[in-house]
Amino acid sequence: MSFNADQAYQLLKKLSFPRLGGTPDEKSAADLLTNYLKKSGLAASQESFPVENFQHARASLEILKPYRKKYPVVPVGLSGQTPPRGITAEIVEINSLDPAVLKKARRQIALFYGPINKKNYPSFRQNKIKALVSVMDHSSALLHLKLRAFLRRDYGKIPSVIVGYEHGLEMLKRKAQRARVRLTQKEFTGRSHNVITTIPGRTRPQEKIVICAHYDSVDQCGGAIDNASGSAIIYELARYFKKNPPHRTLIFVWCGSEELGLLGSQNYVKRHRAGLRNVQFVLNVDVAGIIMGENGATVCGSPEISKFVKKLAERKNMIFSVHHAAYSSDNIYFNARGIPSVSLHRRGSGYGHTVRDQAKTIDAPHLKITGQLALDFLKQVDRSKKIPFSLKIPAKDKKFTEEYIKKSRGIQPSEK
């Protein structure tokens, strides 16, 4: 039996709507997946967890001197609010974190290129900058719609907006001197959900394999590529193994709020900590189906896993690359518990995290490439009396994982 790409594609299309973690739209997506699983005869459950989020964010940027003009901006969620009349001050370009440059922007509005991050934000706070105007391409802005949790925790909030590169350039050319920034938003703690179904093993039920994909998207983004594709693929895998019961227990997890910081998988690992002892490895699918794309896998585990995946791809005459790295997806927190992982993907188009991430960039035949590989991988591993590769994670891969998690929490990794 082969991977049913046509059915996977139909689910992908239904999932392709903005579904930011912790919002009613994400809950609608969780319910959609749950209903699909139940119709396929699978018992499905949802586990909820809190997420910090925002809604109804509205922002504006107006240059007041030496000319008057309003520019379209993207608000940065959870960065606070301005007074109703906004913040009016001098607007100063920050092109360096040199103290002399920062001093000029003290208690003013800062205009700078690039994202808000650990490197620049502490200096902005130290100089009591009143508002931040980050200059970026608007497509890239979708990557930075929310102030990182560790920045809020460690340094507090500065009302922040993102302006397009061309508009930022115009402000510099026209020597903008004084500006008004307005930002309002509703900040709240919402509920996100992991969707879970388990298929017990027939002969080795104590040995467990986790198959996961995240189903949320960034705000304003249909998220067909990232990651309705992976969600649809693992649904089809669950359907296959419902009809063809596995030897080992398979746990399927559709993770919520991955785009907000891998929160769904982090919550799952924390909640199911005791049961992780019997999890052999994790198969994660994140980004697939792109018509013009590149096939690959990122492994956190032994070189034997890489060889296993490569040989499987070679039998299918696939052009396929395998890397050892900390793949920024739902496998990471399993890796941190000593569980190896394979993350399958098909990259391309550059539309991920943009409003262009729509179902029309994907088709069933290309969705089948990753889906069939994932199915063959699981089938071959499951029917082996012993897992056909070492389950130890090499020191180098452990370091990748450790440093990734430290960076995500705002902790400076070791230089060793």
pLDDT of residue 349: 66
Domain presence at residue 162 = yes
Q: What CATH number is associated with residue 164?
A: 3.50.30.30
Domain presence at residue 415 = no
C-alpha dist (Å) from residue 247 to 203, 208, 272: 5, 10, 22
| 24/158 same-domain check | no
CB 395, CB 324: distance < 8 Å: no
Q: What are phi and psi of 295, to 5 degrees?
A: -90, 140
| 286/375 same-domain check | yes
pLDDT of residue 144: 57
- Tell me what percent of the chain is helix, strand and coil, each rounded to the nearest 5: 35, 30, 35
Asked if the peptide bond before residue 72 counts as cis, ω within 30 degrees of 0, the response is no
Give 44: exposed, middle or buried? Use CB within 10 Å, 0-12, 13-18, 19+.
buried
| 136/230 same-domain check | no
Domain presence at residue 354 = yes
* Chain position carrying tokens 């590169």: 165
Residue 255 corresponds to which tokens in the numbers above?
A: 């993770």
Domain presence at residue 231 = yes
Asked if the peptide bond before residue 227 counts as cis, ω within 30 degrees of 0, the response is yes
Which domain, by its residues, includes 374? 5-53+190-408
| 36/91 same-domain check | no
Domain presence at residue 359 = yes
pLDDT of residue 139: 55
| 22/80 same-domain check | no
According to DSSP, residue 134 is labeled E
Residue 89 corresponds to which tokens in the numbers above?
A: 């001050």
Domain presence at residue 263 = yes
Domain presence at residue 240 = yes
Contacts of 6 (CB under 8 A, 6+ apart): 364
Which amino acid type is present at position 141?
A: A
Return the exposure string of 345-355: e unless at least 16 CB atoms fall within 10 Å of the residue's CB, then b.
Answer: bbbbbebbbbe
Among 380, 389, 256, 267, CA closest to 334: 267
Total domains in the chain come to 2
Of 148, 176, 204, the position where a domain reaches its end is 176
| 397/367 same-domain check | yes
Contacts of 274 (CB under 8 A, 6+ apart): none
Average pLDDT by stretches of 10, the chain with 416 residues: 93 96 96 98 98 88 98 92 97 96 96 93 97 81 72 95 95 98 93 98 97 92 95 98 98 95 95 95 96 94 95 91 90 96 88 83 96 97 95 93 82 35
Q: What CATH number is associated with residue 362?
A: 3.40.630.10
| 322/219 same-domain check | yes
| 40/80 same-domain check | no
| 149/209 same-domain check | no
Contacts of 234 (CB under 8 A, 6+ apart): 211, 212, 213, 252, 254, 285, 374
The C-alpha atoms of residue 127 and residue 97 are separated, in whole angstroms, by 11
Domain presence at residue 185 = no
Of 123, 147, 176, the position where a domain reaches its end is 176
| 118/148 same-domain check | yes
| 108/225 same-domain check | no
